[in-house]
Structure formats: structure tokens, C-alpha cells
Structure 1
């Protein structure tokens, strides 16, 4: 069974309880503490809550940014652009200068457990 792949923006601060949807209305992509593709198992198993949908939400404001991938074997760093409608489909890939790995979100699929651990470290 192929795991669902989703692109997400994750935000702080750390909370004691799941927030109400209206508490999150002011969030923007630049406010995210973690950005990247993740597997949907946490959602599928009900470990992560789905809060709802904003009436004025515009997908164009939350575009899939270019991701950066470093390949150890070749020493090459790539900026990869994916299809907004299909996170598994590469539209463009280009070699970028060394050090570019810090210039954008990392390419790769995060498991829901990794996301939880990473957010715990980032928000503690």
C-alpha cells in the first residue's frame, strides 16, 4: 500500500491542547517552523486532528516552494520544483551552488513520527 504524500507547513508555539480553527486564521507560510512533504499516516490513523477549512483560504498563497536536495554520492546540491497538484511529480530540477542546502526546505518525505519529534525539538 502506497502511503499518502502531503505537503505541509507546521507552526508553533507548542500547545497543551488542539487549537480551535479560528485561532489559526492569522498564520502565513513565512510563520512556519517546519516545511516539507510528509506521509499521511498520522492523519489516517487519527493521531493528528483535522480542524477544518477556512472559507477565505487561497491555495495560491500556500504554494509548494522549491525544495533543496543534497546528494552525498555526487556532492551535488539540487533545487527541485514539484507539481502543486501532485507532490510526487518533479517539474524541474537544477544544480545549485554548494551551501544551497540551507537556502530552502529540504527535499524528502518525513514520516509523521519524525515530524512530531522534529517539532518537539524546534518548539521546546
Structure 2
């Protein structure tokens, strides 16, 4: 049974980083049962004092796309800080993911359940996001590491 959520698709969330500041993410899909799909961006936001929407984020500029557990949002650790300007879910698709460097995985647009898995080559997986379901804390760690690597 779907539950009432404190967020909606198109919402922009501030993800707390493990060292300091926040990264922004867009909730592109949510199954209403604890799983969401997010596009996350690699620009550090030092404080939320001046963060206000609507936001002009572009899906092609995302540094990370993943399925994630929404516990961070539910518990208020990830704050909803606004919405994407002119939200259109078709502009923020559920991508094909890659599992273990060799399996293409496609999820249903609404339920986020697997609809197909196809064997591929490492080359076929090269530019695709990694498959998996990440906890909100893991997303925080991955984004922190991503931003650290960008600043080196």
C-alpha cells in the first residue's frame, strides 16, 4: 500500500554531505513504498540559507543517478528545498542501469521494479549508471566522495 509522502516527484532535496555542506538531488520517481529514483548534482552547497527554488537543474548535468531508499527524506535528514522549474517527468527518465559491468537492467517507470535484464558487454555498460538500491546514508557517502574527487 502506498503511503503519504512528505515529498513528490520534481522536488529538489538537499543531501547532507559527510564532511560539510549539501548536494542537491531531484526526486524523479517514487514508488510510494520507500524506493525513489534520484538525479544528484555535483555542486557543493555550503549552507541552505540562500537555497530557494524553483530550480533550473538539467538531467544531463547530473553527476549521479540511482535508485535509493527514501528514509533520509522521511526522517527529515534530507530537506525538500523546492521544485524543478516546469517539472516534466519525461525529461527525467528512468535510465537503463548496468549491473556487474555486464547486465543491462531496465525498471518500470512507475513501480521501479525490474522489467528486463539483458546480458551486455563492458562496452555496452560503459556510460550507464550502476544498478542497485542505495540507502540514503550510502548516497551521502558516495556524493561526498564524488565532490572530493572533483576538487582534487
Taking structure 2 as the reference length, the TM-score comes to 0.69
CA distance in 2, matches of 1:65, 1:28: 15
Q: Counterpart of 1:21?
A: 53
- What is the root-mean-square deviation in Å for CA atoms of aligned residues? 1.7
Q: Counterpart of 1:48?
A: 78
SS at match of 1:38: strand
Per-residue CA distance 1:22-71 (angstroms, 9 max, x = gap): 3x31x11111111100000100100001123346210000010000001x
Deviation at 1:102, TM superposition (A): 3.0
Check whether the contact 2:52–2:82 (CA below 8 A) recurs between aligned residues: no
Q: 2:137 aligns with which of 109, 113, 119?
A: 113
CA distance in 1, matches of 2:124, 2:138: 23
Matches within 5 A, 1:92-103: 92-103=116-127
Question: Any gaps of 5 or more consecutive residues in structure 2?
Answer: 1-32
Q: Counterpart of 1:6?
A: 36
Asked whether 1:81 is paired with 2:106, we answer yes
* Matched length: 114
Deviation at 1:20, TM superposition (A): 1.1
Q: Counterpart of 1:90?
A: 114
CA distance in 1, matches of 2:60, 2:42: 12
Per-residue CA distance 1:67-122 (angstroms, 9 max, x = gap): 0001xxxxx711011011011x1122111013444320011011111111111111
Q: Of the two structures, which has the highest relative contact order with CA contacts closer than 8 Å and spacing of 6 or more? A: 1
The structure with more helix, counted as a fraction of residues: 1
SS at match of 1:16: coil
CA distance in 2, matches of 1:67, 1:20: 31
